Structure 1
């Protein structure tokens, strides 16, 4: 039967890996410690053996006993006393001919020592070494014995058997084994805990599943037609699709941070207020976009924001047009009411047979509208600009603004290369801004005057109002996207659109003080 091998899951792999690392670490540390422990034990026993050997070599009774007819008689008891008190394996005293005067095994007294004592007897050196003698393997120390004349008369040889080293090593090894088992158990428990913690943080997903989700997220981002960007709390981009990269070209720093001040402000507002923001208008190049944003949540804390940017779509344009139609409908309803009142007045004059007054009343009403249409038709040869001005005249009546067009204005020569469809967005924005500014300050006494001429090499338009004007410190900022003196959101776009559109038309815009006390904007566009 064929048995298929299955790769262990991430939890098992992590537990196995951490446990193996802990086990190998303990194994190597134990081996090193065990080796060092043996070396240290041998050095310690060697030092101890040398101390005992020098102590025996300097013992006055032992030195005096060398002159006795039978030296072992006095030396043997002393040597044995030293051996037993120090725990040495043996303490041997020998003469300069290497003959033993003492030994813990008495039958070896009087016989030659099993190892050479040449260095101690000839050169007077004290030496430590490891060797094997009749007592077995031992750590040995030999020290020369001097008489009162300073002559070498013998040698003291002390040995600590290596069985003592083995005993000490085994004792340490048992303790180390217990410690190793404890650390291993602790390490495996920690490995299981850490592995489960990691699995919880990655939502119990396997590496293959994480990889698939990452690719799926990447494909999903790229499939979204809108520009989509995700940023963290430091404004570093964490996700971005191709459309967003193209849109924000030149507005992303080398460190991956957004440099567009309005987008940064929008992200900060979402993160700080922990709420979504919709339908914020932005200007990229000459195109108007709408941005939506939502916070990224983790552990009930905002960790960033997702921004979706899309161009003003046809649906949104239709919505705006529907709003405009609704406004026009309301205006027509108001005009209908006004005309109904005037018709009732005319009807009353006719019933009262005041025919002259009725004719005069009708003539005045017709003349006002006819004069406007005739003036625009004769003075403005471009139908788009004329229609724009006519629409603003009706708009001014809705807003109760005294809208004036300079009677000396003339625009009879408009080059065929001049994009009037693009220009009317500039003219319309400037007139709307002027009327809103005047109404905010003056109310029903708001005045806006427009004049234009095509004399010379440029088309020149002047729009002035009796509003509050533009303070000197704000004149350099009014064309920045997002800068506004109005309350509420989605302002600060109009003049930015004007500036970008004029750049496309190769035109200029100048700001000065109006003769009415407000602001005067002068637009100049070259004919060629």
Structure 2
């Protein structure tokens, strides 16, 4: 039985609760209304009896009859006419001895009043009484009668049977009960509508389902590797998961839930996103020395922006992961290019064997080995970071595959950087510049690319790359750094945009010189701190 109650649906619980409250309220209200109605009806009857009794006490006929000026038959006749006209149960006229001079039952006339509740009226005092008489239980009002000299000569008794009172109370009770039933029906309908509304607001889910969903949501947010921060329309922080709290704490902010995001994190454009509705994806922000990569999106409810949410992650972690991927990718590219070259050399050797040029094969193999050793040794002796060295070797092989020659300047020398994150930035810069140069020389008769990397005396890293390609028209030089702009077709125009962003972030500068049909030269100077200095 208890289990079935726990399994009741929310809609059923709401209906039962609302109906129960309505029924309880209606029952209590009905009780007090009934009591009030009864008291009101009794009060009205009592007032009517009092007014009628006082009026009758002033009647000349009753006064004259009790004084003996007219016959007592006139008293009975007038009392009955008055009773029927006013619709009271009885009008009894008593003399000072308590003898009835009128009564609805004629046989009671002349007999002594036996009610036992008329004592006060013969002392000159009006009063009300509820007692059982010859006609049954009744409400009575006693009024003394005085002659012209002011002497009491009798009393008037006007009464209403309580059966009539109860009849009127029952009539009013029926109306009240009808109203109560109508109220219950209205309450039931309201309960059903409210339950449906509540269910709609809760997306048709039961409380236990909502509880499980919240638990899952909390677990997902807390175990996510990205920080999640949500704000309402006024930029007040409404949600911050465990990782977000850790990152926010690392930049020296405590109790973030009590503050506005625009006050503690002014770098992140929550208000701008909510105003425009545009997403900010994969953007880098510096938060009090902590570099993060964040995605900021508006939150829509019923097609209206009600807030914004940001997911962000420490850029250092991303850099570490990227460096690992970059090293692996560079190594794989180098192996792929060398494998491709090696296969070509094997085809040459196979051809020499088939042509029986046996005496020339040793010299050919020795030449290949010497060139490979000299190329690898040449680059690794000048590029001290193994990730960058492997990356450039891969690009040399890649260029050779494309029919271009990538020359590495004899003046080039790159020591390891104090900043480990610099490796990824240099990979981004060199990778995009070399790829662009390789593409640029494809239509040229001479396919040559010159690369120079060295540290200057003022602590800058100077990168110079030139090619013998077709060059860039002057009208396009400024546009090539715009994201999405390219003369090579759709889904291009990203590389130089990334290069420019990285250089700006590092506080460097970039210049580009190009002549149509004579090639392009790009010069970059960026701050570079050598490891160990």
Whether TM exceeds 0.5 here: the answer is yes
Quote the Cα distance in structure 2 between the aligned partners of 1:25 and 1:160: 34
Q: CA offset at residue 91 of structure 1?
A: 0.9
Quote the Cα distance in structure 2 between the aligned partners of 1:295 and 1:332: 40
Residue of structure 2 aligned with 1:325, choices 404, 412, 430: 430
Judged with a 3 Å threshold, the aligned counterparts in structure 2 of structure 1 residues 331 and 9 are, in CA distance, closer, same or farther, namely: closer
Match of 2:420 in 1: none
Is the contact made by 1:258 and 1:264 (CA closer than 8 Å) also made in structure 2? no
Match of 2:305 in 1: 302
Quote the Cα distance in structure 1 between the aligned partners of 2:293 and 2:275: 21
Match of 1:285 in 2: 288
Q: Deviations over 1:467-510 (max 9, x none)?
A: xxxxxxxxxxxxxxxxxxxxxxxxxxx9xxxxxxxxxxxxxxxx
Match of 2:99 in 1: 99
Runs of 4+ in structure 1 deviating by more than 3 angstroms, as ranges, are 2-6, 251-257, 259-265, 315-322, 330-337, 425-432
Q: Deviations over 1:110-149 (max 9, x none)?
A: 2222233232221x22222322222221222111111111
Is the contact made by 1:247 and 1:284 (CA closer than 8 Å) also made in structure 2? no
Match of 1:194 in 2: 194
Q: CA offset at residue 71 of structure 1?
A: 4.9
Match of 1:121 in 2: 122
Q: Deviations over 1:229-266 (max 9, x none)?
A: 22222333333211212333436556454354655962
User: Structure 2 regions of 5+ residues with no counterpart?
Assistant: 327-423, 467-471, 478-501, 512-524, 528-532
Quote the Cα distance in structure 1 between the aligned partners of 2:85 and 2:259: 78
Match of 1:267 in 2: 270
Q: Paired residues, what number?
A: 376
Quote the Cα distance in structure 1 between the aligned partners of 2:194 and 2:50: 53
Q: CA offset at residue 302 of structure 1?
A: 2.4
Is the contact made by 1:251 and 1:259 (CA closer than 8 Å) also made in structure 2? no
Query: In structure 2, the residue corresponding to 1:248 is in which secondary structure?
Result: helix
Q: CA offset at residue 284 of structure 1?
A: 2.3
Match of 2:79 in 1: 79
Query: In structure 2, the residue corresponding to 1:117 is in which secondary structure?
Result: coil
Is the contact made by 1:228 and 1:241 (CA closer than 8 Å) also made in structure 2? yes
Quote the Cα distance in structure 2 between the aligned partners of 1:128 and 1:116: 9
Judged with a 3 Å threshold, the aligned counterparts in structure 2 of structure 1 residues 265 and 428 are, in CA distance, closer, same or farther, namely: closer
Q: CA offset at residue 428 of structure 1?
A: 8.7
Query: In structure 2, the residue corresponding to 1:289 is in which secondary structure?
Result: strand
Mean CA deviation greater in 228-237 or 99-108: 228-237
Match of 2:210 in 1: 210
Quote the Cα distance in structure 2 between the aligned partners of 1:104 and 1:331: 126
- 1:127-526 correspondence runs (5 A): 127-249=127-249, 250=253, 255=258, 257-260=260-263, 262=265, 266-312=269-315, 313-314=318-319, 320-326=425-431, 328-329=433-434, 385=459, 388-391=460-463, 429=506, 432=509
Q: TM-score, normalised by structure 2?
A: 0.61
Quote the Cα distance in structure 2 between the aligned partners of 1:334 and 1:192: 71
Mean CA deviation greater in 251-260 or 184-193: 251-260
Is the contact made by 2:67 and 2:147 (CA closer than 8 Å) also made in structure 1? no
Cα-Cα RMSD: 4.1
User: Structure 1 regions of 5+ residues with no counterpart?
Assistant: 344-368, 401-424, 437-449, 451-462, 464-493, 495-526
Quote the Cα distance in structure 2 between the aligned partners of 1:209 and 1:45: 62
Query: In structure 1, the residue corresponding to 2:40 is in which secondary structure?
Result: helix
- 1:12-91 correspondence runs (5 A): 12-68=12-68, 71-91=71-91
Q: CA offset at residue 328 of structure 1?
A: 4.5
Quote the Cα distance in structure 2 between the aligned partners of 1:172 and 1:235: 60
Judged with a 3 Å threshold, the aligned counterparts in structure 2 of structure 1 residues 264 and 30 are, in CA distance, closer, same or farther, namely: farther
Quote the Cα distance in structure 2 between the aligned partners of 1:55 and 1:3: 68
Mean CA deviation greater in 245-254 or 266-275: 245-254
Quote the Cα distance in structure 1 between the aligned partners of 2:23 and 2:505: 79
